[in-house]
Amino acid sequence: MSRIQARFGALRESGRCALVTFVTAGDPQPAVTLPLMRALVGAGADIIELGVPFSDPMADGPVIQRGNERALVHGVTLDDVFDLVARFRIEDQDTPVVLMGYLNPIEAKGYAATAERAREAGVDGFIVVDMPPEEAAELHACLRGQGLDLIFLLAPTSDEARIRSVCALASGFVYYVSLKGVTGAGNLDADAVARKVAQIKGITDLPVGVGFGIRDAASAARISRVSDAVVVGSALVSRVAEQAAAPQRIPAHVAALVCAMRAAMDEAG
């Protein structure tokens, strides 16, 4: 059983919703990422999404774009991200880590080499934003061959046929993008999210996580009532940016928001 499966199974047994936290590796400098990952876990994160810095993050809004830029100033690469995860695994063998990013760095390294290095480092899965299922067969085979999950995105515009095609290939969990637009945009309609999540769960047994537009404890609590996982990114990267000039403060500053979200989600039941 993978770490992702084990984590969702344990949460299901305890009646809790997963909190999935996103930060960009190397933002605002590489030395911050490892203590930040540890702080996220301590604050109640169940799964860590670690962004692989990329020069053209087309699905991301200005907040995460700037986080990518701050990391790229230091030349952070996909191999550097693998090294960070390997160091995280020295102390934490249980928390799932999913790499989120874009196809170019993976293609440059090669699918087989990426999958092998990811497994060695202790990565559990990938979200490749610009990899549609129609083009994912080779990458999917390489990742599954190493026991890694390939997690796909669904959108408000995804019809039943699209949901079925995505869920047929997905593993780990399904990521429902709750808004039309980029990360950090718009306002959540919890009722609309609930209807779409119900449709997706009628098609797959995979857990369904909801992300984009979850900004605070109240919105995390609302979404936790209708999903298996709440995914928060831009709100955390904003907190990283607020303390970029004082990086030693970043882990505690970000963890405070995660603690508030976790508490609100648990209270929501």
Catalytic residue (one of 27, 49, 149, 228): 49
Q: What is the pTM of this model?
A: 0.95
pLDDT at 180: 58
Closest C-alpha to 22, from 237, 205, 245, 177: 237
Closest C-alpha to 133, from 178, 168, 109: 168
Q: Is 189 a catalytic residue?
A: no
pLDDT digits (tens, 9 = 90+) for 149-192: 999 999 999 999 999 999 999 999 999 998 755 444 456 678 89
- Whole-angstrom CA distances from 140 to 81, 115, 134, 163, 267 are 20, 10, 11, 17, 38
DSSP 114-178: HHHHHHHHT--EEEETT--GGG-HHHHHHHHHTT-EEE-EE-TT--HHHHHHHHHH--S-EEEE-
Q: How far is CA 207 from the centre of its chain?
A: 14
Average pLDDT over residues 202-210: 97
Lowest mean pLDDT among 35-49, 179-193, 250-264: 179-193
Tokens 């999913």 sit at which residue?
98
CA–CA separation, 45 and 7 (whole Å): 11
pLDDT at 186: 53
Catalytic residue (one of 27, 46, 56, 60): 60
262 pLDDT more than 80:
yes
Average pLDDT over residues 72-87: 98
pLDDT digits (tens, 9 = 90+) for 93-145: 999 999 999 999 999 999 999 999 999 999 999 999 999 999 999 999 999 99
pLDDT at 182: 46
Average pLDDT over residues 194-203: 96
By residue count, the chain amounts to 269
**Domain 3-268: which CATH number of 1.10.10.10, 3.30.70.3270, 3.20.20.70, 3.50.50.60:** 3.20.20.70
Helix axes 217-224, 190-201, angle to 10 degrees: 40
Top-confidence residue, 67 or 57: 67
Q: Is 116 a catalytic residue?
A: no
Tokens of 156: 């408000």
Average pLDDT over residues 67-88: 97
